[in-house]
Amino acid sequence: MNYEIIDCIDAGTQFCPCHLAESNECILCSQLQGKSFCDCKNWRGTCIYQEFNWNNNIATSERESSEGLIISKEIIYQDLIKLVIKTNHHLCKELVNAGSYVFLRCPESSPYFDVPISIMDCDIQKDTISMIIEIEGIKTKKVNELNEKDTIMIKGPFWNGVFGLKNIQRCTNKNVLLIARGIGQAPIVPVLKQLYKQNTIWLVIDKGRYEDVIIKEYINKYPCNIVELKTIEEGKLTQDLSSLIDDYIEDNFIEHVHCSGPDILIQELITKVNNRTATSCCNNAKVCCGQGVCGACTTRFEGHVVKRLCKLQTDPEYIFEGRRQI
């Protein structure tokens, strides 16, 4: 039976309780949703109501921007750059897990220019973070104006870049299929890094609109079985990927499928996998504040359910099932 177990990515962290608790909109706590009694279905190991009470009924402080230094900028293609940024240890060590991301911005830009970028790699000895950025719109173009030795503003840490994190955490001694397309290759690196030692990994790479694989350095560093193919065509899974999934689930006893690509690919993939394995995927929601306030990521579902995808942790199928347009 399908049953959605939800979580809040920030619950139990230094960023909980947040502004949602102040306005009776907490994702998890019934008492902080305006109800009179506990109904704690989705327990995270800490009583948010108690934390809120001990914090004098106000939210904990928000994430702040700090200065980082661009120590390398590589122009991979005309619209694709790789940045390595020196940050502080406190922030860097919070960005090691899959799903971590930060907001980047030029120091002279207003906070409206904050653009969420997934962490590709994180070196906690040197306190550097590496990321690949597609230069697409107003925010990323502004970031692209910066060069090596320039200061860049980093706001973080944020962690909800991947849905189904608990399924990833459960992967030990498993056969795991990772699928990445285009820019999705970058955020799959921390997933690969987290899983390759204790699991057998097959990594399907679809280069998307780029000529070549953009994470070669990492697939050499974290050995896995690589399959290069086209994943999607005219909104449908390609025959290649479709039969690969069937074959791999049957022949290679794949127990987990992770996808880092566009929503249309993830959605098709979930239908294809059809609960035969556990799943996880990247979070493609438009994220502007990352803290549940701005509303950019809120998504409507049947039954008047609103999900704040910047904070809500759930399994991939529940991101698409019963989704409504407004």
Partner 1 sequence: MKVVIIGGGWSGLAAAITAKKAGADVEIYEKTDMLLGLGNIGGIMRNNGRYTAAEELIALGAGDLINLTDSVTKHKNIYFPGHHHAWLYDVNKIEPVVKEYVEDLGIKIFLKQRVIDVKKEGDTIVGIILYDGQFITGDAFIETTGSTGPMGNCLRYGNGCSMCVLRCPAFGPRVSISARAGVPDLQGEREEGVCGAFSGSCKIGKETLSKEICKELDEKGVVIIKIPKEDINLEKLKQKVCQQYALKEFAENIILLDTGHAKLMTSYYPLDKLRNIEGMENAKYIDPYAGGKGNSIRYLSMAPRENNMKVDGIKNLFCGGEKSGLFVGHTEAISTGSLAGHNSVRWYLGMPLLTLPKSTAVGDLISYEGNMTNTLEGKRKRYTFAGSEYFVRMKEKKLYSTDTEEINNRVKKLNLQNIFGEAII
Q: List residues binding partner 1 (CB under 8 A).
A: 1, 3, 5, 29-31, 36-43, 45-47, 49-50, 53
**Contacts with 113 (C-beta within 8 Å, 6 or more apart), sequence order:** 105, 106, 138, 139, 142
Q: Which is nearer to partner 1, 212 or 304 (CB)?
A: 304
Q: How far is the CB of 7 from partner 1 (least distance, A)?
A: 11
Q: How far is the CB of 60 from partner 1 (least distance, A)?
A: 18
Q: How far is the CB of 161 from partner 1 (least distance, A)?
A: 23
- The answer to whether the bond into 107 is cis (omega within 30° of 0) is no
Q: Which is nearer to partner 1, 30 or 200 (CB)?
A: 30
Q: Which is nearer to partner 1, 4 or 228 (CB)?
A: 4
**Contacts with 114 (C-beta within 8 Å, 6 or more apart), sequence order:** 65, 103, 104, 105, 139, 153, 155, 288
Q: Which is nearer to partner 1, 1 or 326 (CB)?
A: 1
Rounded CA separation 279/290 (Å): 23
- Tell me whether strands 312-313 and 162-163 are parallel, antiparallel or unpaired: unpaired
Q: How far is the CB of 315 from partner 1 (least distance, A)?
A: 9
Q: Which is nearer to partner 1, 57 or 72 (CB)?
A: 57
Q: Which is nearer to partner 1, 121 or 315 (CB)?
A: 315
Q: How far is the CB of 162 from partner 1 (least distance, A)?
A: 18
- In terms of C-beta distances under 8 Å and separation of at least 24 residues, what long-range contacts does 210-215 make, across chains too? 210/76, 210/77, 210/80, 210/182, 211/77, 213/185, 214/76, 214/80, 214/132, 214/185, 214/186, 215/120, 215/180, 215/185, 215/186, 215/188, 215/189
Q: How far is the CB of 38 from partner 1 (least distance, A)?
A: 4
